[in-house]
Amino acid sequence: MPKRAWHECAYPGCHRLTKDRYCEIHVAKQDARRESSYRRGYTSRWAKTRRAFLMEHPVCECPECQASGQPLPADVVDHIIPHRGDPVLFWDRNNWQAMNHVCHNKKTAREDGGFGNKKR
Ligand SMILES: [Zn+2]
Ligand SMILES: [Zn+2]
């Protein structure tokens, strides 16, 4: 059984001794970096999907715009049911609606401010 020797952490400038590639501090940092590049991938995929969705849904689908007959141009994709980080709700097309950011801000303000009001 070859024993792994203690050596310095592979992180530039770190001299903590470790038996792995990185000391425990920098192992965590490497994980954080992986996580953020994962998020970047997620975000660019969403940016593309969103753009395609808005091409198909060029006008705001909020109730006010529907009622006015003169909907504002859509520039955001809203999640009808707030996804709160749930990837299933996040990527479910049936849970998307095109909205204008002004209408969207109003809706978000209602949702944030109206905690406990059972509108739906
Ligand atoms: Zn280190
Ligand atoms: Zn609207």
Ligand 1 center–CA 41 separation, angstroms: 27
Ligand 2 center–CA 79 separation, angstroms: 14
Ligand 2 center–CA 116 separation, angstroms: 24
pLDDT (tens digit per residue) in 7-35: 999 999 999 999 989 998 998 887 777 77
In angstroms, the first-to-last Cα distance of the chain is 64
For the ranges 19-28, 77-86, 94-103, 110-119, the maximum mean pLDDT occurs at 94-103
pLDDT (tens digit per residue) in 54-66: 999 999 999 999 9
Ligand 2 center–CA 62 separation, angstroms: 4
3-state SS of 62-104 is CHHHHHHCCCCECCEEEECCCCCCCHHHHHCHHHEEEECHHHH
Pick the ligand that lies closest to the CA of residue 57: 2
pLDDT (tens digit per residue) in 47-93: 999 999 999 999 999 999 999 999 999 999 999 998 888 889 999 99
- Which residue bears the tokens 């020797």? 5
Phi, psi of 15, deg, nearest 5: -115, 15
Cα–Cα distances in angstroms (integers) from residue 73 to residues 50, 66, 108, 118, in the given order: 14, 12, 18, 29
Ligand 2 center–CA 39 separation, angstroms: 29
Ligand 2 center–CA 23 separation, angstroms: 52
pLDDT score of 114: 52
pLDDT band at 37 (very low <50, low <70, confident <90, very high): low
What is the rounded distance in angstroms from the CA atom of residue 84 to the CA atom of residue 48?
Answer: 21
**What is the mean pLDDT of the segment spanning 103-109?**
90
Q: Which residues contact 15 (CB under 8 A, 6 or more apart)?
A: 8, 9
What is the rounded distance in angstroms from the CA atom of residue 80 to the CA atom of residue 94?
Answer: 9
